[in-house]
Chains A and B, each alone.
Chain A
Amino acid sequence: MARTLFEKIWEEHLIASAGADQTLIYIDLHLVHEVTSPQAFEGLRMNGRVVRRPERTLATADHNVPTDSLSTPVKDPISRRQLEALEENCEEFGITVFPRGHENQGIVHIIGPELGVTQPGMTIVCGDSHTSTHGAFGALAFGIGTSEVEHVLATQTLPQQRAKTMSVTIEGSTRAGVTAKDLALAIVSTLGTGGGSGYVLEYRGEAIRDLSMEGRMTVCNMSIEAGARAGLIGVDDTTIAYLRDRPSVPKGDALDEAIARWRTFVTDDGAEFDAAVVLQAADIVPSLTWGTNPAQVVALDGTIPFPDVAADQDERDATQRALAYMGLTPGTLVRSIPVDVVFIGSCTNSRIEDLRAAAAAARGRRVATGVRALVVPGSHRVKAQAESEGLDQIFLDAGFEWREPGCSMCLGMNPDQLKPEQRCASTSNRNFEGRQGRGGRTHLVSPAVAAATAVMGRFASPDELDA
């Protein structure tokens, strides 16, 4: 029988199903970071338990790490303690950990794929909602809570309800200047913040096929912003080409065998989804968010919306509140809005391709006076690659800060934060109130738009720079 990609992975990992609420699935890979793991390790200790499969567990420091010079100590004592606890716990339980400054350290969702640890057909979990990123490889990957982290550490399994499947198809090829981030924003604004709830989304269609692996990760990353716990993209030549020479991928004959297996992780022709959504690539334009949830999206060429165009009273109220928080006036041209800060980074857009796109816009130009612009590579490997290509120098010459890897200004948990009422063009994934620092105003954009905006001091696209 024809099966969807989700069904193939699910059925392969089913240990037992004794009634819907007793379904237990096997977890191939467990990614761990410092914030959601300490109590889980503490739980193991209190119960005298061990980590069942330490070799299927990989940890890195990301949320708390300061991104200034590696030689400065972590000043916040609570953050420092959390980072130390990660190292101690991993040492005690025999888990591979990449602490701050390690050559493999970086944002958890960046390092899994770049090391080749993330592979097609796997089940992958992490105590972080953007675990959906790994779905770009045809792996079933989703975020879990602290009790579940402990459960996976102890048992390498998870009791799970089977999700429903939704195909999200983008037909046709994208227009020039439209990036993976714009596709992600289009998908979230189409589905709404709750539209994907209960579903695993599978992204399909020509526009998705045409994306690089970096672009596919950007799209899958934001699945959670549409309420879905996971996003998936079937394996193809692009997937295989990306994985081929990664450190943790098999070599020689074992690689050929692995590839043959990986290629099976696609949805069969004729398989049925529980729901289907179709978008036309031709309708998608360079975009950004204007409000305080990621579904509040507007075209870069557009204007800030009026509350009265909203469908109902609740939405009108929500629009009013978002406009007030964001300090915006309806009808304002997006391209006329000045920014204070530009942040290029996060698990959505801090891979090498993202930095190349931003550097292309920054090359030979200057960050506008009064704008603070940061580039934060997603990992030390991304940073080293970028430096070998001379991207760091392009950014530095243009007046951008070139920083050490970490989550940085994606969330206000480390020293990189917005001040109240500062407006930021950010390549991250959440524009919630206070997400980047109390009172901060976040607009989600693509790396190319972020760099052009830094140069112009207001929202802009790279094509404006030549004019």
Chain B
Amino acid sequence: MKPVRVVEGRAVPLERSDVDTDQIIPSDWLKRVERTGFGRGLFSEWRDDPDFVLNQQSYVGATILVAGPRFGIGSSREHAVWALMDYGFEAIIAPSFGDIFVNNSSKQGLVIAQLGHDDVDELMAIIVADPTTLVVVDVDQQKVEVPQAGWQRGFTLDPMTRERLLNGWDDISLTLLREAQITTFEASEKAPDLVGIFDEAGHVRS
């Protein structure tokens, strides 16, 4: 995953609470074999409505989503995170989130910024009034900022998540930091011998 220090861009106001992962990416999309391309399925049922916020020209190309409470509740599907990121979102701001969704986001590098209920309402009002407003989500400083309005609020990430975002570490990268340890283990007496299972070409004998 790519390191994320700051996300800067325009923000989309999604004025709904309890946006569950079934809404984010409906289940008929789960049969796909790719991890990419889920952006087309993002909120696909809502997008049939021409008035839906993502269909409005002024928000095209936005990178931040501002939503109501309990965003990302419901099923554990990692596809929800894949869909948001594939669509182009890099950060989600809301008063509260589904647990598993937060977890899945941290594995993929999607920034989750939790602000107070009133703060989210204020931010929402700013971006509704002017869709061109630049919003900054700073992972390093743990703050959300609207420079043109002089508006700024802090948020908290757990230290490990912040580290991983800043360094671009995913679980695999973290494990690969211990590559030498793994190699030593593989070469050691301790490593179980799989003698006989595979032939010289590395194929299973059969």
Residues in chain A within 8 A of chain B (CB atoms): 12-13, 15-16, 24, 26, 28-29, 38-39, 42-43, 46-47, 49, 54-56, 58, 78, 81-82, 85, 94, 96, 103-104, 115-117, 119, 121-122, 145-147, 150-151, 154-157, 159, 247-251, 254-255, 258
Contact = CB atoms under 8 A, between A and B. Distances in A.
Contact of A248 (B31, B172, B204): B204
A15 B178 contact: yes
Contact of A159 (B36, B175, B192): B175
Interface of B: 1, 31-36, 78, 82, 107, 171-172, 175-176, 178, 181-182, 185-186, 190-192, 194-198, 202-206
Contacts of B1: 47
A247 B205 contact: yes
A155 B192 contact: no
A248 to B, nearest CB: 4
Contact of B35 (A28, A46, A117, A251): A46
A85 B32 CA distance: 10
B48 to A, nearest CB: 22
18 contacts: A13-B192, A15-B185, A24-B175, A28-B194, A47-B1, A47-B172, A78-B31, A119-B197, A147-B78, A147-B107, A154-B172, A154-B176, A159-B171, A248-B205, A248-B206, A254-B195, A258-B195, A258-B196
Nearest to A252: B196
- Determine chain B's interface SS by DSSP, over half rule: loop
Contacts of B181: 15-16, 24
A151 B172 contact: yes
Contacts of A119: 194, 197
Nearest to B185: A15
Nearest to B76: A145
Given A155-B182, A248-B204, A55 B198 contact: yes
Nearest to B171: A151
A249 B176 contact: no
Nearest to A82: B33
A54 B204 contact: no
B196 A254 contact: yes
A96 B204 contact: yes
Which of A46, A56, A247, A248 is the most central at the interface, judged by chain B CB atoms within 10 Å of its CB? A248
Contacts of A47: 1, 172
A54 B185 CA distance: 17
Given A157-B182, A247-B204, 14 more contacts: A15-B181, A15-B185, A29-B194, A38-B34, A54-B202, A56-B194, A85-B33, A94-B202, A96-B202, A117-B204, A145-B78, A151-B172, A248-B196, A248-B204
Nearest to B34: A42
Nearest to A42: B35
A247 to B, nearest CB: 5
Nearest to B79: A39
B172 A39 contact: no
A47 to B, nearest CB: 7
A210 to B, nearest CB: 29
Contacts of B196: 248-251, 254-255, 258
Those 9 A-B pairs whose CB atoms lie nearest each other, nearest first? A250-B196, A38-B33, A55-B202, A42-B35, A39-B35, A85-B33, A248-B197, A155-B175, A248-B205
